[in-house]
Amino acid sequence: MNEKNFKNINFYQMVNFFRDMSKRSGKMKYISNLAELDRELVYVDSQFKISDDCGRVALSNFCYRINVDSVPEDPFSQDYYDFQMKLYSILSGRSAYDITNEESVFNQEEIQNCPFPYYTGSASTVGDQLLAIGYIIKKTNISANSTVIEFGPGWGNLTLALALMGHKVTCVEVEKRFIDLIKYRSRDVKNPVEFFHQDMLNFSEFPDKKYDAVYFYESFHHCRDPLNLIKNLSRIITDDGIICFASEPFVQGPSEIIPYPWGVRLDGMSVWSMRRFGWMELGFEINFFMKMLSGCGFISERISSDVSPLTSLIIARKI
């Protein structure tokens, strides 16, 4: 696997900007213009040429800063949404968001028998991912032989675990490479996995059946219109079904990374991701997110554990 692809697929699985903000090395640098940002990203790229770990350290040392006085007050308004999409365009250098940007380039033959997280060889990375998947399955506690759907399954680790348990699993994934990989990995599973090569927002607008459980694992923050997606989800789950938002970038309150109720994340890793690849990188203040769920007819609870930074869930049910 070449270096560029290694960075790409590694970052795709990252969650919650940084594992522990207090462990950043060096003094935090605040950047407020694109010229300075591009100079910083050239340095970041040089560090990735040394190693993936060096690149991540470089990304953790800076944050983009905007004038928060210019942010519209109502986070549910069209003006607010337009502001966030404009901010994405500025940081990404693209005229508008396009779901075709959500790609992860890798060689399937090289990766199919040793996908993420295993190819990293990192006990921490592999352990966190296994702990997270186990935590999701245990805490959602869905009945045997349930009909479930996962949006943005990526490498398919959660999908594969649910399918092996006997659940009837549907995957909605915008990246064709990931679909091909999951098909390969699930080829011997008794219950065939159903696949849709489609954007999660578009798929949710026209469901043809209902599901007992909906899963987002490190994926919801890539949706370009989170409020509309949540509204659509109420139509595709059963009356006693659940929605699980797992390992998403939630914060306790406005911060330097998410200085508003929801919107584009401003940490180095997210800004780099948008500018280099065009991925959508949103984050959410927890209380706002749960208020958004309530406004769409859901009651929600937050569940977390300190065994891993990835064991953080919000589980929603219809009111």
pLDDT tens digits, one per residue of 27-48: 789 999 999 999 999 999 999 8
Backbone angles phi, psi at 99, to 5 degrees: -65, -20
98 lies in which domain range? 3-318
Q: What is the mean pLDDT of the chain?
A: 89
What total of structural domains would you count in the chain? 1
Number of helices (H), then strands (E), belonging to the chain: the values are: 12, 12
**Which alpha helices (DSSP H) does the chain contain, by range?**
3-12, 34-50, 52-59, 78-92, 108-111, 123-140, 157-164, 176-185, 200-205, 226-233, 268-277, 286-295
Angle at 191 between CA 184 and CA 193, to 5 degrees: 50
**Half-sphere exposure of 254 toward its Cβ, with a 13 Å CA cutoff?**
7
Instruction: Write the CATH number for 224.
Output: 3.40.50.150
Q: Which residues contact 268 (CB under 8 A, 6 or more apart)?
A: 40, 44, 58, 59, 60, 61, 62, 63, 64
Q: Which two tokens stand for residue 11?
A: 């970052």
pLDDT 10s digits, 182-211: 999 999 999 999 999 999 999 987 777 899
Predicted local distance difference test score (pLDDT) of residue 19: 40
Does the bond joining 117 to the residue before it have cis omega, within 30 degrees of 0? Answer: yes
pLDDT tens string 53-95: 788 889 989 999 999 999 999 999 999 999 999 999 999 999 9
